[in-house]
Amino acid sequence: MRCIASHLVAVMLLAGSGVAGAAIAASPVKIAVFPFELMDFSAAAPYVAPDEIDREQLRLSTEEARRLIAESGRYQLVDVGPANEQIAKAGQLRDCEGCEAGIAAGLAADQSMIGIVTRITRMEYAVTYKIRDIRSGTLVDVQQTDLRMGANVAWSRGARWLIQRRLLEQPQ
């Protein structure tokens, strides 16, 4: 009888630790999603600076990515607002060799995400995101989609497609 009781206790402890492990695994990843940036390789880039329309489309792309990520339940958004000064000091996060991971670490995030809209021509774009683990600074995911024959109003559609079809379709 004692043998059965000790086995039951062991099974209950294992089952309890399995539930605790599942709760830990299900907790959302804290992610700092930084504002999307424009990288302009078009022939007009030296002559036409980014304008209010470009800035608005970048803002909308960032908002769409953040909205979908937050709604997924897999991630918990970390407010990057308190790091605006650091972000400005770093310049273009896409060019800072992973410094966004350090900024995100200061915000108590687990991961950082930067989004990049690459203008190839005035009608061809690529939207990319890069996610880094803040502890190691290594890239854990990089995805890209191309937009052909589209205007910059399509940038948020590209961001949506990437988040829905690449980031959120990956197994946890």
Q: Phi first, then psi: give them for residue 42, nearest 5 degrees.
A: -70, 160
Q: In whole angstroms, what is the distance from residue 7 CA to residue 11 CA?
A: 6
pLDDT tops 90 at residue 24: no
The pLDDT of residue 26: 72
In a domain, 94, yes or no: yes
The pLDDT of residue 19: 43
Residue 46: give the domain boundaries.
28-167
More confident residue, 83 or 8: 83
In a domain, 1, yes or no: no
Per-residue CA distances from 103 to 10, 75, 128, 131, 159 (Å): 44, 18, 20, 13, 22
The model carries a pTM of 0.83
In a domain, 66, yes or no: yes
- pLDDT exceeding 90 applies to what percent of the chain? 76
CB crowding 46-70: b at 16 or more within 10 Å, else e:
eeeeeeeebeebbebbbebbbebbe
The domain total for the chain is 1
Lowest mean pLDDT among 3-17, 64-78, 111-125: 3-17
CATH number of domain containing 86: 3.40.50.10070
Contact between residue 61 and residue 159 where contact means Cβ atoms under 8 Å apart: yes
Q: Where are the strands (E) in 21-138, listed by range?
A: 29-33, 37-40, 75-77, 111-121, 124-133
The pLDDT of residue 21: 44
Lowest mean pLDDT among 15-19, 65-69, 90-94: 15-19
Enter the tokens of residue 78. 């970390």
Helix, strand, or coil here: 82?
helix
